[in-house]
Amino acid sequence: MGMTMTQKILAKAAGLDEVKAGQLIMAKLDLVLGNDITSPVAIKELDKMKVEGVFDKDKIALVPDHFAPNKDIKSAEHCKCVREFARRNEITNYFEMGDMGIEHALLPEKGLTVPGDVIIGADSHTCTYGALGAFSTGVGSTDMAAGMATGEAWFKVPSAIKFNLIGKPSKWVSGKDVILHIIGMIGVDGALYRSMEFTGPGVSELSLDDRFTIANMAIEAGGKNGIFPVDDKTVAYLKEHTKREYKVFEADADAEYDEEYTIDLSALRPTVSFPHLPENTHTIDEIKEMDPIKVDQVVIGSCTNGRIDDLRIAAKVLKGRHKTADMRLIVIPATQAVYMQAMEEGLIKTFIEAGAVVSTPTCGPCLGGYMGVLAKGERCISTTNRNFVGRMGHVESEVYLASPAVAAASAVTGKISCPCELGL
């Protein structure tokens, strides 16, 4: 029996000719990632291990993004810990405030993730880099520490689910709608410790930003990783962002999958995930039949939907319009480069004229950290990736997940809405 794309990458990293689902392996790592929440824990573990230095200062990336700029003394201490560790070990890829961004948008932009890589990060949304044909997955801080020390990590080789994408998305349907549809279909544990492998002619209809969004939320279906084939769009992105050499892997024709699904992108509708799980999805057509769902806050940003395409779509909806008076609109470009591009294109002006506040890159509100924490009884529609109880603030607040288009339209109407309701 042949191997899936993920299995081939892991076999290469383990120095084996082949691997099988369920097999335990030790794999060499191409990149180890940490942020300001998870890295301090890993650094303390390294101290306990009495490890001197790191396995490769060029293959570690440290990005303080969750509470940076520092929101309080504790977060300042965390960032200081990471900063001093990076200096002490001469970490090449340390991104301080002003040059930083939300980690999972920043690393591909900086050319640090390429096809065939094996990447671990002490953040669950590390699976984002599968959009470029890499195997990337989230791990705990202890595994991050071991990875920084040895350059290796152990894995149980995952089995896989195949998602055959066909058709072309209609207007206002994006990668966010695709992944919310899939999570609604299979559930938050539907891909538990399995590789979500996306293929088919519909892949070419998705932008790289769409693919980053889909791979980013593989974990919300329980997936070990999400991964896309390398095509012309991938190659064009890589030419723009990196000079690293890379190896492209393709699934064997006889690769074994636990399940296979065909998703007709042309049949999908803008989709919203209701509280308090990403699987609780409803299409915009179903929502129109409900009583209006008023919102107190809209957040457009995060590692899921803070890239330039996301901001362009949101600005297109908001252009010449203004948010509802009694609600808050927060826009967060994912990186400094995205922020600059948005300024040059006039998107930031559009957001401010629409009544938004525009923040420096940060994860902030996504995890209820700062820059948009919810009070008791408040409701937010957000382009982030999780809507668990208390995720963005008070345990009696509510979070709805949506695309930038739906989030922007909802800011204008004050209730969950589709851009089509604005005549767009």
Q: Report the range of poorest mean pLDDT among 63-72, 124-133, 178-187, 252-261.
A: 63-72
Q: How confident is the model at residue 94 (pLDDT cuts 50, 70, 90)?
A: very high
Predicted confidence (pLDDT) at residue 260 exceeds the cutoff of 90: yes
Pair 235, 330 in one domain: no
Sign of the alpha-carbon torsion through 220, 163, 238, 332: negative
The predicted pLDDT at position 50 comes to 85
106 and 75 assigned to the same domain: yes
Residues 282 and 402 in one domain: yes
CA 84/CA 358 separation, integer angstroms: 30
Report residue 52's pLDDT band, with 50, 70 and 90 as the boundaries. Answer: confident
The verdict on 281 and 241 lying in the same domain is no
Q: Report the pLDDT value the prediction gives residue 98, as an integer from 0 to 100.
A: 84
Domain end, chosen from 224, 242, 264, is at: 264
Are 328 and 239 contained in the same domain?
no
Question: Of the residues 207, 235, 264, which one is the last residue of a structural domain?
Answer: 264
25: amino acid identity, one letter? I
pLDDT (mean) for 283-304: 96
Give the total number of structural domains in the chain: 2
**pLDDT the model gives residue 296:** 97
290/253 same-domain check: no
Q: How many CB atoms lie within 10 A of CB 154?
A: 11
Residue 399 belongs to domain spanning: 271-422
Domain check: are 333 and 396 in the same one? yes
Look over the chain and give the mean of its residue pLDDT values, rounded to a whole number: 95
Q: The dihedral of CA 79, 83, 86, 89: what is its sign?
A: negative
The arithmetic mean of pLDDT across residues 101-109, rounded, is: 96
CATH number for 147: 3.30.499.10
The torsion of the CA quartet 92, 96, 98, 104, rounded to 10 degrees, works out to 80
Between CA 121 and CA 310 the distance in angstroms is 24
Terminal CA-to-CA distance of the chain, rounded, Å? 50
Does residue 221 sit in the same domain as residue 306? no
Q: How confident is the model at residue 179 (pLDDT cuts 50, 70, 90)?
A: very high
Q: For the residues 102-106, what does the mean pLDDT come to?
A: 96
Same domain, yes or no: 343 and 413: yes
Question: Of 264, 281, 307, at which residue does a domain stop?
Answer: 264
For the chain, the farthest-separated pair of C-alpha atoms sits apart, in whole angstroms, at: 63
